[in-house]
């Protein structure tokens, strides 16, 4: 936090008018959950230490710390907090009354400035903010949160600040309203819904696979026979049955039959590695396995569990005993674990039934609709692909094994079967949109996307390809019956990201901080899921279940739990949930804690970037370095990389800009269609060696840089701000270039072209004639030798208290550090009124104009700073104090 200090602790300057203010950068320690009284003590200690060093100019501090300059924000300090006392409000003179008028003409000099003003009525807090970062509604909410925190802290000064509420009553009610999703819960199990549809349309085709098909009645009969056979093996409520099968008619029979037996099905995808399947079988404690005959050998390797061959189960017409209830498990799907050991999420019938009933209510799936089942059944999205059509009377179309990876085949089966409804993981949707044959498709009505973040670029490409189709973005983990939020995407949307939307029926979204408190609207926190779809936990993993499924204090249901997703999200002001990344993708680079999802979001906002993954890897020197993997259209050369670096630099701190960019044709995917981070290729690290000047122009610029940087050794690819340059020296460099070339340049040039090589390219492109005139025609041509060795930089002298200098009108004098900063800002944006301090007074009564003129003239004559202007002397800034002969008052 920045705090301004007057800098008037010396007697000789107390009476002077002028700019002596310095900025103190205060690093406050909030560890250990301090209370208000304890924090005040910490702040006092930090402030006193800072006051003892108040004469160290802020710019010198920036230089010494080597902080990267960035046009998007001020270095070190982006938030300023100041307390002002006894302001001049009203003034009564002889026969005159002066009233100060409030105005909003000042410009925010930082991202956020919080001013506390002690008035007769109490403490008045004003907020000045960068409108590129905040809007008025956000600042108003922030002000309300600040007020609520202060009130709570004063009421309970010994309570930990982290435990104090930020939300006001209105905001709490708003969050409750957004989570008011209660709707009627119909009882029954998933297979009961299918059986009800069998009774409604027994002879309609339920499922097709290539040339084969089953009616609803045939499907139900086969599933019933399998269920009875499983019950003979001991399967029933509380048991788990493995299903080892490829996509086929038998697979659908198996899933339905297991649930009819009362057991929960456990997918055993034959495409998974044998060792992984073996671990799943052992962990799941299966009662039996149903399998396709072609996988008999694989079954043998998985152990001696009881087994039924799907092709050999006789259709005996026996009805299984009806045992299961809505609160019993319907299926258990394994998901990857951070330890490398998969964990099985046990989902109840009530959860998946709620999910399907919501789809039935919101989407008009009719008997003539065709739903393509292409998701591997070890991935939870497959559950609604299988059963949404079967509970609505539509037709389930099974893609052939492995067909979900073949976009040409998918286009062919969609056209042949008249598929109307599809699901894609965004990674696969991006590939599908590249398939030429999809342009001829006419039957699709809906496309659903989930499993990964849907980017705005992919959303745009989708509507460019399918302007008349609906695209729906869904979100949800395996631990909450597939999906719990929904957003209908819109063509031509100008949103910076695609939201995951609002909660579906009978679900609740809680965005909480580390202390388990609701975060305010617009503030990031971890998403917690509540409601009927939250699963029972992880099979056989009580400790992990207790860690990820926590008591739900706001649920009326006894024993209800919230699932901690690990996803970083926030509520938008309109009540939409925005996905920001993963909380467990935090890394440390150069001592800074970084959320990789933030970098990924910034990259996805760049033109042509379709997919991206950012990881932290050991660099050439062993330090952790950020690497960005991208799937992008357009060039992939050095110019593209530098363009991305510059673009990211406008949004992110320098330490969050990746050190390497790797362009891929496509992201490697796991069997479930998600990005396989372990298969990402290693980057080629740049050695970072000094590159000598390669052209006469680069040699001339290197000499100029050495002069400005006081002899620092550098190469043509070294960043100006990383070899000792700062904003002031950058302005000096640009001024000297202007004088040398005779052309107009701006300080922003050194930010846009911070290396000698980039600056040379810029000058050749913009001012070739001036370059040739200044350094000769050879400056436009390649040259060989670079300049010789540079002298070591001379150490700067430490700055102590301010020394007084006699006034010498008309004689250039060096600038103070504070003046240098003001001069630089003027060079960066000429004519800007950022540091103007306007004040307006209404005068009531007779005004003695000559007396006012004499008073103003006396003030200007007495204080030299009011007669000071800045000039450039050999490119260096200086101040000149002018004589004063008075001025008229209009």
CATH code: domain of residue 724: 1.10.1200.10
- Cα separation values, 753 from 14, 825, 842, Å: 43, 18, 49
Strand order, beta sheet including 609-618: 609-618, 624-632, 660-663
Determine, yes or no, domain membership for 633: yes
| Tokens (6 digits) for 817 | 């550090």
Among positive and negative, which fits the CA dihedral 458, 459, 460, 462? positive
Confidence check: pLDDT of 346 > 50? yes
Query: Both 683 and 702 in a single domain?
Result: no
Confidence check: pLDDT of 621 > 50? no
Determine, yes or no, domain membership for 321: no
Query: Both 623 and 724 in a single domain?
Result: no
Confidence check: pLDDT of 807 > 70? no
More confident residue, 9 or 880: 880
The string of pLDDT tens digits covering residues 541-570 is: 999 999 999 999 888 888 899 999 999 999
Confidence check: pLDDT of 786 > 50? no
Query: Both 748 and 609 in a single domain?
Result: no
Q: Which of 111, 138, 171 is the last residue of a domain?
A: 171
User: What's the chain's average pLDDT?
Assistant: 84
Query: Both 88 and 149 in a single domain?
Result: yes
Query: Both 158 and 15 in a single domain?
Result: yes
Those residues whose C-beta lies under 8 Å from the C-beta of residue 886, and which sit 6 or more positions away, are: 853, 857
More confident residue, 269 or 751: 269
Determine, yes or no, domain membership for 710: yes
Say if CB 252 and CB 210 are below 8 A apart.
no
Return d(Cα 745, Cα 729) in angstroms, integer.
15
Highest mean pLDDT among 249-258, 315-324, 800-809: 249-258
Average pLDDT of the segment spanning 843-860? 81
Determine, yes or no, domain membership for 834: no
More confident residue, 836 or 49: 49
Confidence check: pLDDT of 120 > 60? yes
The string of pLDDT tens digits covering residues 155-202 is: 998 998 888 888 888 899 999 999 999 998 877 999 999 999 999 999
Determine, yes or no, domain membership for 595: no
- Residue 813 DSSP code: B
More confident residue, 479 or 63: 479
Query: Both 98 and 132 in a single domain?
Result: yes
The string of pLDDT tens digits covering residues 490-506 is: 999 988 899 999 999 99
Weakest-pLDDT range from 315-319, 585-589, 768-772: 585-589
Q: Which of 154, 171, 188 is the last residue of a domain?
A: 171
Q: Which residues of 104-141 are buried (b: 16+ CB within 10 A; e: fewer)?
A: eeeebebbbbbeebeeeeeeeeebbbbeeebeeebeeb
Weakest-pLDDT range from 232-246, 357-371, 754-768: 754-768
**What pTM was computed for the model?**
0.69
Determine, yes or no, domain membership for 114: yes
Query: Both 620 and 722 in a single domain?
Result: no
Say if CB 350 and CB 326 are below 8 A apart.
yes
CATH number at residue 124: 3.30.559.30
The string of pLDDT tens digits covering residues 475-491 is: 999 999 999 999 999 99
SS3 content of the chain, % helix, strand, coil (to 5): 35, 20, 45
pLDDT at 14: 67
More confident residue, 654 or 261: 261
Say if CB 36 and CB 161 are below 8 A apart.
yes
The residue to which tokens 């910490």 are assigned? 42
Query: Both 646 and 710 in a single domain?
Result: no
Determine, yes or no, domain membership for 232: no
pLDDT at 789: 35
Return d(Cα 89, Cα 87) in angstroms, integer.
6
Return d(Cα 863, Cα 884) in angstroms, integer.
11
pLDDT at 223: 96
Determine, yes or no, domain membership for 227: no
CATH number at residue 669: 3.30.300.30
Average pLDDT of the segment spanning 306-321? 85
Highest mean pLDDT among 12-21, 165-174, 528-537, 843-852: 528-537
C-beta pairs of 33-38 under 8 Å, 24+ apart in sequence:
33/160, 33/161, 33/162, 33/163, 34/160, 34/161, 35/156, 35/157, 35/158, 35/159, 35/160, 35/161, 36/153, 36/154, 36/156, 36/157, 36/158, 36/159, 36/161, 37/157, 37/158
Return d(Cα 504, Cα 354) in angstroms, integer.
9
> How would residue 402 be classed by pLDDT, with cut points 50, 70 and 90?
confident
Return d(Cα 414, Cα 403) in angstroms, integer.
12
> How would residue 791 be classed by pLDDT, with cut points 50, 70 and 90?
very low
The residue to which tokens 């005993």 are assigned? 321
More confident residue, 208 or 27: 208
Number of domains in the chain: 3
> How would residue 362 be classed by pLDDT, with cut points 50, 70 and 90?
very high
Average pLDDT of the segment spanning 822-827? 67
Query: Both 653 and 771 in a single domain?
Result: no
Widest pairwise Cα distance in the chain: 115
SS3 773: helix
| Tokens (6 digits) for 11 | 């007697």
- The DSSP string of 463-519 is HHH-TTSEEEEEE--GGGSS--EEEE--TT---SS---BEE-TTEEEEEE-TTSPBP
Query: Both 14 and 109 in a single domain?
Result: yes
> How would residue 571 be classed by pLDDT, with cut points 50, 70 and 90?
very high
- Residue 716 DSSP code: T
Confidence check: pLDDT of 620 > 60? no
Domain enclosing residue 611, as ranges: 605-687
Say if CB 323 and CB 468 are below 8 A apart.
no
Average pLDDT of the segment spanning 321-350? 86
For residue 69, give the nearest of 827, 688, 722 by alpha carbon. 722
Average pLDDT of the segment spanning 861-887? 78
> How would residue 103 be classed by pLDDT, with cut points 50, 70 and 90?
low
- Cα separation values, 150 from 30, 111, 154, 721, Å: 16, 22, 6, 40
More confident residue, 288 or 164: 288
Q: Which of 780, 815, 844 is the last residue of a domain?
A: 780
Weakest-pLDDT range from 479-483, 582-586, 687-691: 687-691
> How would residue 788 be classed by pLDDT, with cut points 50, 70 and 90?
very low
What is the radius of gyration, based on Cα positions, of the chain? 35
Highest mean pLDDT among 297-301, 392-396, 455-459, 609-613: 392-396
The packing angle between helices 58-65 and 817-828, to 10°, is 80
Average pLDDT of the segment spanning 369-392? 96
Average pLDDT of the segment spanning 643-648? 87
Say if CB 669 and CB 427 are below 8 A apart.
yes
Query: Both 625 and 736 in a single domain?
Result: no
> How would residue 655 be classed by pLDDT, with cut points 50, 70 and 90?
low
Average pLDDT of the segment spanning 275-292? 92
| Tokens (6 digits) for 425 | 């993981």
> How would residue 12 be classed by pLDDT, with cut points 50, 70 and 90?
low
Query: Both 708 and 680 in a single domain?
Result: no
More confident residue, 821 or 311: 311
| Tokens (6 digits) for 541 | 């993993």
Confidence check: pLDDT of 104 > 60? no
| Tokens (6 digits) for 199 | 């009774």
């Amino acid at each position: 936090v920045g705090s301004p200090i007057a800098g008037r602790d010396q007697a000789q300057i107390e009476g002077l008018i002028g700019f002596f203010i310095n900025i103190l950068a205060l690093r406050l320690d909030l560890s250990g959950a301090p209370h208000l009284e304890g924090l005040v003590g910490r702040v006092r200690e930090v402030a006193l230490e800072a006051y003892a060093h108040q004469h160290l100019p802020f710019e010198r501090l920036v230089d010494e710390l080597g902080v990267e300059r960035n046009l998007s924000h001020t270095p070190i300090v982006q938030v300023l907090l100041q307390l002002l006392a006894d302001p001049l409000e009203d003034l009564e003179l002889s026969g005159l009354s002066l009233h100060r008028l409030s105005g909003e003409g000042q410009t925010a000099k930082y991202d956020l400035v919080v001013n506390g003003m002690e008035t007769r009525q109490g403490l008045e807090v004003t907020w000045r903010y960068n409108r590129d970062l905040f809007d008025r509604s956000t600042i108003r909410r922030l002000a309300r949160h600040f007020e609520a925190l202060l009130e709570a802290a004063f009421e309970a000064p010994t309570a930990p600040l982290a435990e104090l509420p930020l939300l006001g009553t209105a905001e709490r009610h708003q969050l409750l309203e957004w989570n008011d999703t209660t709707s009627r819960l119909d009882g029954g199990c998933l297979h009961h819904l299918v059986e009800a549809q069998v009774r409604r349309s027994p002879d309609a085709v339920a499922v097709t696979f290539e040339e084969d098909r089953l009616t609803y009645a045939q499907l139900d009969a086969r599933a019933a026979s399998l269920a009875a056979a499983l019950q003979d093996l001991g399967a029933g409520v509380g048991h788990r049955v493995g299903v080892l099968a490829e996509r086929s008619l038998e697979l659908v029979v198996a899933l339905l039959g297991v649930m009819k037996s009362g057991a929960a099905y456990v997918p055993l995808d034959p495409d998974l590695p044998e060792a992984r399947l073996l671990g799943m079988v052992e962990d799941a404690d299966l009662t039996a396995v149903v399998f396709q005959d072609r996988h008999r050998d694989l079954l043998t390797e998985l152990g001696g569990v009881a087994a039924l061959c799907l092709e050999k189960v006789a259709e005996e017409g026996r009805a299984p005993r009806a045992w299961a209830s809505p609160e019993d498990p319907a299926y258990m799907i394994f998901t990857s674990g951070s330890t490398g050991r998969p964990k099985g999420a046990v989902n109840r019938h009530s959860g998946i039934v709620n999910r399907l009933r919501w789809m039935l209510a919101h989407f008009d799936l009719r008997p003539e609709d065709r739903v393509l089942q292409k998701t591997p059944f070890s991935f939870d999205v497959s559950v609604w692909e299988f059963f949404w059509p079967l509970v609505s009377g539509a037709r389930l179309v099974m893609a052939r094994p492995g067909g979900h990876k073949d976009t040409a085949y998918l286009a062919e089966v969609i056209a042949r079967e008249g598929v109307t409804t599809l699901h894609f993981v965004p990674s696969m949707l991006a590939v599908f949109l590249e398939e030429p044959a999809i342009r001829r498709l006419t039957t699709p009505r809906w496309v659903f996307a989930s499993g990964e973040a849907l980017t705005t670029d992919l959303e745009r490409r989708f509507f460019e390809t399918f302007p008349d189709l609906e695209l729906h973005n869904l979100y949800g983990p395996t631990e909450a019956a597939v999906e719990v939020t929904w957003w209908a995407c819109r063509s031509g949307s100008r949103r910076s990201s695609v939201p995951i939307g609002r909660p579906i029926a009978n679900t609740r979204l809680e965005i909480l901080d580390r202390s388990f408190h609701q975060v305010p609207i617009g503030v990031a926190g971890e998403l917690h899921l509540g409601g009927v779809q939250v699963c029972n936990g992880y099979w056989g993993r009580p400790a992990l279940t207790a860690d990820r499924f926590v008591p739900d204090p706001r649920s009326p249901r006894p024993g209800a739990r919230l699932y901690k997703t690990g996803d970083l999200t926030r509520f938008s002001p309109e009540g939409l949930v925005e996905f920001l990344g993963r909380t467990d993708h935090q890394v440390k680079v150069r001592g800074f804690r970084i959320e990789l999802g933030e970098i990924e979001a910034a990259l996805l906002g760049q033109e042509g970037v379709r997919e991206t993954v950012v990881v932290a890897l050991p660099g050439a020197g062993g330090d952790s370095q950020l690497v960005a993997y991208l799937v992008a259209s357009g060039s992939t050369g050095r110019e593209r990389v530098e363009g991305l670096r510059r673009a990211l630099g406008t949004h992110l701190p320098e330490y969050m800009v990746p050190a390497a960019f790797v362009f891929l044709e496509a992201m490697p995917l796991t069997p479930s269609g998600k990005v396989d981070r372990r298969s990402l290729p290693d980057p080629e690290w740049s050695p970072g060696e000094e590159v000598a000047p390669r052209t006469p122009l680069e040699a001339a610029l290197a000499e100029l840089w050495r002069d400005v940087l006081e002899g620092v050794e550098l190469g043509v690819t070294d960043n100006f701000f990383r070899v000792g340059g700062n904003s002031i020296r950058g302005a000096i460099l640009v001024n000297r270039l202007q004088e040398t070339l005779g052309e107009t340049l701006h300080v922003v040039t050194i930010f846009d072209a911070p290396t000698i090589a980039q600056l040379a390219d810029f000058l050749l492109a913009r001012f070739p004639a001036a370059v040739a005139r200044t350094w000769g025609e050879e400056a436009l041509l390649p040259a060989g030798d670079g300049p010789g060795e540079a002298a070591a930089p001379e150490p700067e002298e430490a700055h102590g208290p301010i020394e007084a200098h006699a006034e010498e009108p008309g004689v250039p004098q060096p600038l103070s550090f504070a003046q240098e900063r003001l001069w630089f800002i003027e060079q960066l944006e000429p004519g800007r009124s950022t540091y103007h301090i306007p004040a307006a007074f209404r005068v009531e009564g007779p005004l003695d104009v000559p007396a006012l003129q004499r008073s103003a003239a006396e003030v200007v004559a007495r204080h030299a700073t009011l007669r000071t202007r800045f000039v450039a002397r050999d490119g260096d800034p200086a101040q000149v104090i002018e004589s004063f002969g008075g001025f008229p008052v209009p």
